[in-house]
Chains A and B, each alone.
Chain A
Amino acid sequence: MSGFCPAGTGVPDCYAGPKWTPNDPMFFLHHAVSTPSLSPFISAVKQPLLQMIDRLWTEWQHKAQQNGLSFGGGSVQARETFEMYQTFPNGGPPFLHVGATRPNAFYRYLPPIMQFGSVLPSDGLWENVTVLDVMDTKNEVLCYTYQ
């Protein structure tokens, strides 16, 4: 899914990209919705693939013990050149870490990179959560499962 600017938008800095794909409710079918049950008459091989992107991560997390808390990546997209992309395929520094915790009196004295990496920036739209808080969909913050 991708997007282009509406005609006659009048917004000078409107660039094509994926950022407003959630405008279409279909986006949420693509990302988050799980199919409740499938036909018992269709063999497992023939069952339609479930493509909810978010669900794929959860499914992968449960495929192997090493996957569950595996996490790493940067907070800034690095796709200016192919070399940068190869070096930081899922984001360049400052890095995000799964093991970091909320900034507190202790973390205040660590380098700022660590503080930034510990919290998912929300710009005040919701309470700050850490990467660890959202690693498991059954945690307090997300609190849901896939059927």
Chain B
Amino acid sequence: MMVCLRRSPTLITLTAFDLHRSGLSTYGPEPCCRCPLIRVGTSVIMIVPGSLHRIFPAMAPLFHQAFRKLVEEQMRLHWDDTILGLDPRYVLAEVSRVFHGSTHLVPDSLDTERSAMFDDNEVSGLGGWGDPNSDIQITTGGFKNVVRVYPSPHRIRRSYTLQPLANIPNPFPNDPLAPPVDPTILINGSFTRTNYDFLLNGFIGDFIGFQTYLEGPRVLHSLSASFDVLTR
């Protein structure tokens, strides 16, 4: 990794390996050898093909941390710009797209449990998943000290369940008319682009149909892909 510390624009040069190890899971072949330029605010991140990971495999964690810090620093410096939407993850997603050609990236919606959004950072993190030994109350992140009083005083409780239907009782038990429930449904497969387009482009003039598709038991809202969690 090489960083040129000119003020503006800042040029950050990364190897593909830095991106590989920067917190995202990626599938697919080895990075190809193109050199995309990624703009983050007034900074330009240039991705250069590199094979440092083959030469210094033991340094992988360092590259990882360094790249995270770089992006976070840029985000902090340029917070007032309109680049707010350029979450580091978007940058990484784009980089991965360029390097891998297409959709080898595992988006956060498919790997919510390890999303950076839920990390322990007291400024940017939601505090992860609660401690199962302490009634799944969260102990880290920005809301670690928040106390809720309803229905009885407790800290924020949160856990992650990939197959929630396995644990939630059938809403229509013993009802022969009700469709069977598949307890193995993976919650991160519900809010797909197909479902999204179907919801928004269909049901013309039919609010009840729209709401039923979105809000019914065990459909989109209750199985939201990116927020497939139990908040308790």
Measured CB to CB, the residues of A under 8 A from B are 1-11, 14, 18, 20-21, 23-27, 29-30, 35-39, 41-42, 45-46, 48-49, 51, 53, 56-57, 59-60, 63-64, 66-67, 70-73, 79, 81-83, 85-86, 89-90
Contact = CB atoms under 8 A, between A and B. Distances in A.
A23 B231 CA distance: 8
A143 B152 CA distance: 34
Given A23-B150, A82-B178, A51 B224 contact: yes
A14 B153 CA distance: 13
Given A2-B230, A27-B231, A56-B199, A42 B94 contact: yes
A44 B34 CA distance: 22
Interface string B85-103: 1100011011001000001
A31 to B, nearest CB: 9
Contacts of A46: 93, 97, 103
B175 interface: yes
A86 B212 CA distance: 10
Contacts of B90: 38-39, 41-42, 48
B143 to A, nearest CB: 6
Interface residues of B, number: 64
Contact of B211 (A24, A25, A79, A90): A90
A39 B86 contact: yes
A108 B200 CA distance: 38
B174 to A, nearest CB: 10
Nearest to A71: B207
Nearest to A6: B154
Interface string B145-176: 01010111010111000001000100110010
A6 B205 contact: no
B152 A11 contact: yes
B204 interface: yes
A37 B214 contact: no
Contact of A2 (B86, B164, B212, B225): B164
20 contacts: A5-B232, A6-B157, A11-B152, A20-B148, A20-B151, A23-B231, A26-B231, A39-B91, A49-B109, A51-B224, A63-B204, A64-B205, A67-B204, A67-B210, A70-B205, A70-B210, A73-B208, A82-B172, A82-B175, A89-B216
